[in-house]
Amino acid sequence: MSQQFSNDFWNRMYELAREAPGRNAEVMHDGGRVVVVQDLDDADAVLRKRLANYPKNLQWFAQVGGQSRLTEDGDQWRFRAGLSQPSFSRYDHDRGYAISARQARRMAGLLAANTKAPLLDEDAIHHSILSIFTEMFLDVELDRIPMAHDGPSRLIELASRYTCIHRGQGQDAHTKEHIRQILESRRQVFGGMQCLRDAGEYDSAMMRRMLAAEAVPGYDFRFEKEMTTLFVAGADTASNSTGWALHLLATYPELQERLHAGQRAIHASLPDGPERCKAILADQDLKAFVSELLRLHSPLPFVTRVARADDRLSDIDVHAGDVVIVSLIGVNRKAMARPDFWIPDIDAAAREGVGMGTGIHSSFTWGARVCGGRNFALLELTTVLSFLIAELRLELSEDLPVENEWVGQMRRKGGHRVRVTPRVLFSPIFDQ
């Protein structure tokens, strides 16, 4: 199976969401049957009500990056979740805002440094977002880890070639060159993370729990494997969302100006700190924009499961062994009543709220496997976007059709055609 075929398959999920949102579908792929769930109630059955019948289908990453909280189910998942979830659930809110705000200022400066660049500097976005994660949860500056900041991202991109491969198929993905790249990438990533084992210098509570867990029998836990997954989950999703947000703002200038006016007023009237943070998070326009962003461009738009036993969903039979894909872009029932499901509408989003079937809810999945970092991710993303919207002007450098590519998440092929310039009438953020 070629990478292009894999991209075609995942882009087909977007086509289904456009053609028949809310309706389930059956597709054949590589000789196997795949059930695509787009009905919200059926998605709830797969992800929550009948969870035991639909275990994860993430061995494609486990075979490259190793076992982790992301890939495992049952006791193995519960054990790993117990190591990181206390830090994600009981984080210092004010500290999280302060770190996110500081990195957002840095990001704004980097993005505005080259006003002639026709492509958005997604490398700068990713570095700043991952810096938030390492400082917040590991108490270490990212640049002190001797590893390329996008190393874990590259590893999952290499692993993504195996996503759709069924046993006995797709042998061209197992080329010697591809395997060589995986081994080299893993060596660099795991080797770079060795420095975090020095508890005398880096001593966060989460790292202490993980290092101690290596001695617990029966779980085959390795610190570097878990941390690689957390780097990807904690940074790739948020940086990808930030890129898509700037694309939407550039595409819809009136929406951008409305949001800019609201955020500029908050930043100009309140000192940086808890008061400003509270106002940013309470701003209904920005909250609705984040929901629309995640509805249209969820960090992980599809969740894959495997059926253990036969089942019946509302309009389709599921057979044991079927791959079941829950389309998170196809289940957002509330927006389906709008004239155009695919255009961001923050007024409609505000009226609809943020419950079941909205971007803020569905993009993090739900049930027992809900994203453990959901609350921090929303604080981080909202804070970063507030600073970028207040400080920058976004314009399309080329108005081209959007093409996606599958790299473990859906990425804009060729990068976002967005030009960035600073807003000269409001610049105190850079001076702080």
The tens digit of pLDDT for each residue in 367-406 reads: 888 888 899 999 999 999 999 999 999 999 999 999 888 8
Q: How far apart are CA 38 and CA 366, in angstroms?
A: 15
Helix (H, G, I), strand (E, B) or coil at 201: coil
pTM: 0.92
Q: How far apart are CA 126 and CA 231, in angstroms?
A: 11
Q: Which pLDDT value is given to residue 174?
A: 59
Q: Which pLDDT value is given to residue 202?
A: 67
User: Which residue did the predictor score with more confidence, 162 or 40?
Assistant: 40
Contacts with 276 (C-beta within 8 Å, 6 or more apart), sequence order? 266, 267, 270
Q: Which pLDDT value is given to residue 431?
A: 43
User: Among all chains, which residue has been given the structure tokens 């108490």?
Assistant: 139
Contact yes or no for 421/396 (Cβ under 8 A): no
- The answer to the question of whether 277 is labelled as a binding residue is no
Mean pLDDT of 237-258: 97
Contact yes or no for 386/361 (Cβ under 8 A): no
Q: Which of 30-34, 62-66, 142-146, 393-397 has the largest mean confidence?
A: 393-397
Query: Could you give the percent of the chain with pLDDT greater than 90?
Result: 62
Task: Of 132-146, 171-185, 418-432, give the lowest mean pLDDT range.
Answer: 418-432
Q: Which pLDDT value is given to residue 57?
A: 82
Reply yes or no on domain 3-431 having CATH 1.10.630.10.
Answer: yes
Task: Grade residue 426 by pLDDT with cuts at 50, 70 and 90.
Answer: very low
Task: Of 206-215, 257-266, 420-429, give the lowest mean pLDDT range.
Answer: 420-429
Contacts with 371 (C-beta within 8 Å, 6 or more apart), sequence order? 233, 364, 365, 377
**Residues 293/299/301/305 CA torsion (nearest 10 deg):** -150
Domain ranges of the chain: 3-431
Task: Grade residue 2 by pLDDT with cuts at 50, 70 and 90.
Answer: very low
Helix (H, G, I), strand (E, B) or coil at 247: helix
User: Among all chains, which residue has been given the structure tokens 């909205």?
Assistant: 358
Contacts with 339 (C-beta within 8 Å, 6 or more apart), sequence order? none
Task: Grade residue 167 by pLDDT with cuts at 50, 70 and 90.
Answer: very low
Task: Grade residue 7 by pLDDT with cuts at 50, 70 and 90.
Answer: low
Mean pLDDT of 261-268: 97
Query: Could you give the percent of the chain with pLDDT greater than 70?
Result: 93
The overall average pLDDT reported for the chain is 89
Mean pLDDT of 171-180: 72
Q: Using the predicted structure, report yes or no on whether residue 190 has a pLDDT greater than 50.
A: yes
User: Among all chains, which residue has been given the structure tokens 């976005």?
Assistant: 125
Helix (H, G, I), strand (E, B) or coil at 163: coil
Q: What is the residue-wise DSSP string for 311-378?
A: EE-SS-EE-TT-EEEEETTT--TGGGGSS-TTS--HHHHHHH-SSTTSHHHHTT--GGG--TTHHHHH
Task: Grade residue 99 by pLDDT with cuts at 50, 70 and 90.
Answer: very high
Task: Grade residue 28 by pLDDT with cuts at 50, 70 and 90.
Answer: confident
Task: Grade residue 87 by pLDDT with cuts at 50, 70 and 90.
Answer: very high
